[in-house]
């Protein structure tokens, strides 16, 4: 067992850290305040190869895998959680799924643009009445012979209204549940019949756009079906097992950011003639944060290692996501307490950490859903894929 990073991994870490400090950090507060999505950050990430993990170089990949991806995403998310979505939204979501399930033509047409940052990617699963119960979706793609005609509404789609290329999950057969779901590649700039509405009432993740997508007789070319018709549910679960690493890593990074902030503040702030870090109750809080932060990080790295080595990893992925999310919410909550009243002001990032941490309890499988996956695998009720 080796916990040390290789020289190449150290280089990736340093490059991602420098990038986050130079290209993201200067805009964090401004973009939070204005709920602004700074598109050019994605382009710059693409230029540096920060979007191209686990995909061969002939399609624009960077030649590196899961562990390096997690290292890079962690550095980016630590500075601003909103930007953790870029790797899921472009690489682990659409690009990797097209690479696994697509035809050669689909791979060559869509993957390079997603990995270079030319396209903003997305994946649309959730609907107003279909969240955890994915198979209850209603969006329907009707086979019209020479094209698909799509009707329905998708909700809470990250990057939806700025997306150029995204995956869409829709029924191609009604009343067949999961077996009626299929997956499509949507070229949003060339698909008539899609209305994209920004969701502006979000509680956090202010610099990451989220959208409602309304498909009204949207015409999609026949060749944009991804994988066989009726296999969309399987493709969706396969995709989620990858994109959930974005949540797990982002949550671990947020926990680390809150811990670092709390340590800094505990050393700076003086009460009763000494730094508050000297008080045992503050120390207890710091210890709790440190333990959870370290455990979350190890679970994330372990899941990434299993993926890299193509070993069963669904349970490890759910454990990383569930635990890192708890660590992030707890760390953000404790940081706000340690910062006192200043923590409650927008002068400090505690509010952003807390708002952003709460997302992890819901998206890409709620905490309840991940608890079920972990227990069902442990009890032998479902395989660990
Ligand atoms: C910021 C943000 C970004 C998002 N990005 C995307 C995206 O890019 N693409 C996309 O498709 N979706 C996205 N989502 C949607 C997200 O994945 C869903 O909200 C999530 O799957 C939960 O669905 P729901 O909100 O409908 O909750 P519901 O499924 O209605 O759940 C409500 C509550 O019931 C519980 N519950 C449900 N079923 C069970 C059960 N069987 N056992 C125990 N408890 C249960 C849940 O845990 C939860 O507490 C995003 C959401 C947010 C907030």
190-230 tens-digit pLDDT: 999 999 999 999 999 999 999 999 999 999 999 999 999 99
- Among the atoms of ligand 1, which is closest to the Cα of residue 89? 8
Q: 131 — phi, psi (to 5°)?
A: -110, -95
Task: Label residue 139 by pLDDT band (50, 70, 90).
Answer: very high
Task: Label residue 123 by pLDDT band (50, 70, 90).
Answer: very high
pTM of the model: 0.97
Specify the pLDDT at position 91. Answer: 98
CA 158 to ligand 1 center in whole angstroms: 13
59-117 tens-digit pLDDT: 999 999 999 999 999 999 999 999 999 999 999 999 999 999 999 999 999 999 999 99
Q: Is the pLDDT of residue 1 over 90?
A: no
CA atoms of 53 and 95, how far apart (whole Å): 10
Beta strands in the chain, from DSSP E residues, in sequence order: 121-124, 140-143, 147-158, 165-171, 181-187, 194-198, 210-221, 225-226, 270-271, 274-275
CA 365 to ligand 1 center in whole angstroms: 6
Active-site residue, 68 included: no
Task: Label residue 43 by pLDDT band (50, 70, 90).
Answer: very high
Domains and CATH numbers, the chain: 7-119 (1.10.540.10), 122-230 (2.40.110.10), 234-378 (1.20.140.10)
Query: What residue's CA is closest to ligand 1, atom 30?
Result: 131
Specify the pLDDT at position 201. Answer: 96
Q: Is the pLDDT of residue 334 over 90?
A: yes
Segment 175-179 mean pLDDT: 96
Most ligand 1 atoms within 8 A of CB, residue of 86, 90, 132 to mutate: 132
Euclidean distance between the first and the last CA atom of the chain, given in angstroms as a whole number: 23
Residues 6+ apart with CB under 8 A from 95: 51, 52, 55, 59, 110, 111, 114, 115, 121
219-267 tens-digit pLDDT: 999 999 999 999 999 999 999 999 999 999 999 999 999 999 999 999 9
Specify the pLDDT at position 129. Answer: 98
Radius of gyration, CA atoms only, the chain: 21
Task: Label residue 29 by pLDDT band (50, 70, 90).
Answer: very high
Q: What percent of the chain has pLDDT over 70?
A: 100
Q: For residues 110 and 95, is the Cβ–Cβ distance under 8 A?
A: yes
Q: 193 — phi, psi (to 5°)?
A: 95, 15
The active-site residue out of 30, 294, 364, 378 is 364
Specify the pLDDT at position 126. Answer: 98
Specify the pLDDT at position 190. Answer: 97
CA 250 to ligand 1 center in whole angstroms: 18
């Amino acid at each position: 067992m080796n916990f040390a990073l290789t020289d190449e991994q150290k280089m990736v870490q340093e490059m991602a850290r420098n990038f986050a400090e130079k290209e993201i950090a200067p805009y964090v507060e401004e973009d939070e305040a204005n709920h602004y999505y700074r598109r050019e950050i994605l382009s710059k990430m693409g230029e540096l190869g920060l979007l191209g993990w686990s995909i061969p170089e002939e399609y624009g990949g960077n030649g590196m895998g899961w562990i390096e991806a997690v290292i890079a995403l962690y550095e980016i998310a630590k500075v601003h959680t909103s930007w953790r979505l870029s790797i899921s939204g472009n690489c682990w979501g659409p690009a990797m799924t097209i690479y696994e399930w697509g035809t050669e033509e689909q791979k060559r047409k869509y993957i390079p643009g997603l990995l270079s940052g030319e396209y903003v990617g997305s994946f649309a699963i959730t609907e107003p009445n279909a969240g955890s119960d994915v198979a209850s979706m209603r969006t329907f793609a009707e086979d019209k012979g020479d094209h698909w005609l799509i009707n329905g509404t998708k909700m809470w789609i990250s990057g939806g209204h700025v997306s150029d290329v995204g995956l869409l999950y829709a029924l191609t057969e009604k009343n067949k549940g999961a077996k009626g779901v299929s997956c499509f590649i949507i070229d949003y700039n060339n698909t008539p019949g899609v209305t994209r509405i920004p969701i502006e009432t979000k509680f956090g993740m202010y610099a990451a756009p989220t959208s409602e997508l309304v498909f009204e007789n949207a015409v999609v070319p026949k060749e944009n079906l991804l994988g066989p018709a009726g296999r969309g549910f399987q493709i969706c679960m396969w995709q989620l097992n990858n994109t959930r690493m974005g949540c797990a890593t982002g949550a671990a990074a947020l926990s680390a950011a809150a811990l670092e902030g709390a340590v800094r503040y505990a050393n700076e702030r003086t009460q009763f003639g000494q730094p508050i870090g000297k008080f045992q109750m503050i120390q207890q809080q710091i210890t709790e944060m440190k333990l959870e932060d370290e455990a979350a990080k190890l679970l994330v790295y372990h899941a990434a290692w299993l993926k890299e080595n193509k070993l069963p990893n669904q349970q490890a992925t759910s454990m990383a996501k569930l635990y890192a999310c708890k660590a992030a919410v707890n760390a953000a909550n404790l940081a706000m307490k340690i910062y006192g009243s200043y923590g409650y002001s927008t002068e400090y990032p505690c509010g952003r950490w807390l708002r952003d941490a709460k997302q992890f309890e819901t998206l890409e499988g709620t905490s309840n859903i991940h608890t079920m996956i972990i227990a069902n695998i442990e009890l032998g009720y479902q395989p660990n894929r």
